[in-house]
Each structure stands twice: as structure tokens, then as C-alpha cells.
Amino acid sequence: MTRTEFDYVIVGGGVAGCILANRLSADPATHVLLIEAGPAGRNPLIAAPGGLLPIMMSGAYAWRYMSVPQAHLDARPLYSPRGKVLGGGSAINGMVYDRGFHSDYDRWAQAGNRGWSFADVLPYFRKLENYLPALNEWHGRGGPITVTRAAQDHPFARAFLKAGAQAGYPLTDDLNGATRDGFGAVDLTMGKGKRSSAAAAYLRPVLKRRNLSVLTQAQARRIVFTGKRATGVALRHKGADFTVTARREVILSAGAINTPHLLLLSGVGDPAHLAEHGIATVHDLPGVGQGLQDHLAAHVKYRSTKPWSMLRYLNPVRGALAMAQYLLTRKGPLADPGMSVACAVRSDPALDEPDIKMLLVSALFGHNGREMVPMHGFYAHINVARPEARGSVRLASADPDVPPLIDQAYNATGNDRRVMREGVRIARRIFAQAAFDEVRGEELAPGPAIESDEAIDAYIRAHAEADYHATSTARMGHDPMAVVDDCLRVHGIAALRVVDASIMPHLPGGNTAIPVAMIAEKAADLILGKGTLT
């Protein structure tokens, strides 16, 4: 990189950063720099959907963060990684395409954020996708991210859908369409046997643009200000420190952990907290790092009486054959992430819409996917769709190399605990249906002796895990704790914008990668002064 002055400097090469780099550099007269702390990510396992398993187990391409001890989870610190590679989480996640609920975005708008209702954001969901299942009013075709429907030929998947119907739940042909209610096939961000990450879909096709610079393995140390205007970013790259200048804007797309961390390191936040670490206040903005939300995952696990789980592919010979098949044909087990069916259900039939989301996993994992249990089985991955609890991201040190203090405040409210408990009971009810008779072995977790409210709550406290959907630490709004306005500009600071999951007023009832992609597509129009899509 020979240039050090750009129109836009984007910090973070994850989902939002890759999209913004594409859209903002479309004008050849506009010079854009994208900064990513991780590598380019050329490992073929990233492109292979089934490569998810070894990537999870290795912890590669991630900031390997740990939370602070969680007060309502037996004081356990939880592994809380974030993507550290071009494409961010979309390069290493399970590829589940999940928008959440329509009402999630309507709540954003009802809080005073103009232009963020579901009707407002649907055109951007449509714009970003090349949706290969049935085309209708809810989906688009021809966009950068390829979306396919997961195959339903695995016996565990067929049993899950059939069991849902047997348990009295509706079936839906599109979990991202008119209604989220019931059981259905998962949509995946993949096509032709390859992961459709933000890096593959948005960034790599435009890397030859002469006005686009991408700097990998470069860590942003702080934002540079002239008065109350962001003018650049101080970086460390290959041991060298230097500053890049932004003529128009600095855009933070580092995610819901690293964006507030960088703001605090740069003197934007609660003055009392900054003073604790000897950081001079550039701007008093007490909401920075506050309001953190994330999904907590509990699991109901069963041994399988049939050897049909993904465990069979850990055999070295089968694994080598699977890799050869994938490289030659883009088919076989490495073309399958192993998650193909899900559901959204109610903890209480009186609710207007579901508050539990559940995914079937066709293998037995432990320690957040970092190990595979050497036994054939399957399990339900259960979330409280819209948790109430809110935590924080705070400084542990003024040294940028020291990780922040991450406190998700998991399981902190009575309602969050009640809904998760009901999720465990509903999963058991589903697995008890006749559809699972052929494959159901003993219940491994929580275990048949765990029946009472108190026992289930204790199981959740001892074994629930983080689900990597962090949001809301620089949230959009107009109240004293809001950090950005509804154009994603940081309150009180000129030429500084946040475009990532941290701006979400609250956690949507789904995975976060695709909502972040929507936010970035909309943000690009806002930054460029274009009319928003309708």
C-alpha cells in the first residue's frame, strides 16, 4: 500500500466491511481503504461448507475472546470468539441464512429510528441475495450472496420435521418468508458446493479496482480526531505504526465487541470509565459499550442408534475421500454444513409469536464446537430468541493489545430463564415423538433424571454456551444512551459512522450475519446520499 490518504477508511473486513468496500469503491474517483486484523483467508476449508467442523475445532480465524465470569451461569467465563479474517463471521460460521422476525425491525422503527421497519429493510434483504429456492415477494435474485435451501435427505432432518408435525406444530416452506412460525428447512449462504461469504460474494470480485486498497493483518489502534471530527486511524501493521487519513469518513465495522473497544480506546465513551484507564475524553458518550446482547445456547442431546452422524467423517480414510470428492465435484460431506432444519416455537401458547428458536445438529459437539464427542448422535441447539438481559463491553486496559472485558449478562432475568427452560422441555417433547423411534438412543443431556424446574435451571447454568451473535453495544437511537443516529452517524462526532451489529437497538430473533449484511447495504446508500430502496 503506497497511499495513506483515502476518502473512506473502513475498520473491519467482516460482513459489513466487505460490503461497504464494494459499494463505496464503485465510483472510480473515490478511494477506499479496508483494514482487517486477520488474514485474507485463502484456506480451502473456508470455502467448503463442511470445512466448518475443522475450523470450529481449531479456533482458527477468530479473536479467541473469553467473557468475564457469568454471574447467572455458575460464574463460568464463556468462550466468545469473533471472526478474524476477511469475511469475518461469514467466513467461519454455520452459513445459516436467518433474518429474524419481521417485528424485530418494526421495533427498531417504533423506537424512533426512521427507515428501519421491516417494510423499509426488506428491499435490502432482497438486494443482497441470489435466492435460489422459490422466488416470491420476500426474496431477491441476482444479488451477491447465494442462498440455497438445505437438503432434506438426512434421516435426522426428516425425523425432526415429521416430529414437529406430530407434536402439533405447523410446517413452513420458508423460515425467512411471510411467517417464522413452525418447522422448516434452513436456508444457507452457499451455492454450487461453496460458502458464499461476504469476502467471496462482495470483496474478491472487485479487488482489482485501482481505487480500492485492502490491508490485512493490520490492527486499528485508535481513531484520530481533529477536535470533534474523525480524520483517520492509527494502525499497526507488521510491527510498524502509522496513520491513514480519511478525507470523508472513518467507518467502524469491527463488530459488536471490537467497535466499542476501539471507540473507548480513542476517548469516546463514559468519561469516568475512560479516566480509570488514563484516557482523555474526546466526546462524552456513555452508551458506548453498553447494552450488549447475545444469544445463549442450551442443548438437548441424544445418542443415535444408527451410525449416521457427522462423526463418521472424522475417520482419516473417510475424511481424505471426502476431501477428494469435494475438490473434484464440489459434492459430498464437505459440501454439507450438517445443519438443515430448524424451528421457531412459543414458550407460552398465548404469545403472539414464537420466542424460542431451535436448530437440529447432526453430530455431538462439546466446548462450543471445539471437540466432537466420539459417539453418534444429534441434538437441539436452543436459544431464547429475543433475550431481555443486557451486558457490556468495557476496557480492561488502555493497551489496545489487551482484550476488553466482555459481559453478556447471560440468563440474568427471570423471563430469560423461564423461556430457556421451556425450550429444553419442548426439545424433549419433539425428540419423544414416534418419528425419532428409529434413531433415538438415550438422552445424554440434560439426562433423564433432570426434570424439575430447579434441575433444568441448574443444568443450563452449568452447561449453556455463548452463541456468537453479539449486538447492540453502539446502538442506534436518540436517547441519552444511544451512540449513533438512524443514519448510523456517531452522535456528537463528525465524519464517524458505525456500520455493524453494534448499532442494532436489540438482538433480532435470529442469527446476525444476514441482518448485518442488510445494514451494510442500506448504510452504503445512506453514506453515498442515494435514495433508499423501496
The cell for 112 is 424512533
Neighbours of 42 (CB within 10 A): 10
Beta carbons of 73 and 410 less than 8 angstroms apart: yes
261 is catalytic: no
Q: Which residues contact 414 (CB under 8 A, 6 or more apart)?
A: none
Comparing CA positions, the residue from 394, 452, 77 lying closest to residue 263 is: 394
Beta carbons of 197 and 46 less than 8 angstroms apart: yes
For residue 428, give the 3-state DSSP assignment: helix
Beta carbons of 120 and 105 less than 8 angstroms apart: yes
The cell for 101 is 422476525
Please calculate the CA angle 175-179-185 and round it to the nearest 5 degrees.
20
Query: What is the phi/psi pair of residue 455, to 5°?
Result: -70, -40
Neighbours of 398 (CB within 10 A): 14
Q: Which is catalytic among the residues 139, 295, 469, 506?
A: 469
**d(C-alpha 236, C-alpha 391), whole Å:** 30
Furthest CA-CA distance within the chain: 68
**d(C-alpha 213, C-alpha 2), whole Å:** 10
Comparing CA positions, the residue from 458, 295, 290, 260 lying closest to residue 368 is: 295
Cα separation of the two ends of the chain: 38
**d(C-alpha 269, C-alpha 444), whole Å:** 46
The cell for 104 is 424485530
**d(C-alpha 259, C-alpha 286), whole Å:** 15
Beta carbons of 59 and 34 less than 8 angstroms apart: no
Burial class of residue 159 (count of CB atoms within 10 Å of its CB; 0-12, 13-18, 19+)? buried
- Whether residue 446 is preceded by a cis peptide bond, meaning omega within 30 degrees of 0, is yes
Beta bridge partners of 234: 222, 243
Chain centroid to CA 23: 21
Comparing CA positions, the residue from 126, 231, 106 lying closest to residue 508 is: 106
**d(C-alpha 527, C-alpha 23), whole Å:** 10
Beta carbons of 488 and 523 less than 8 angstroms apart: yes
Q: Catalytic positions, please?
A: 469
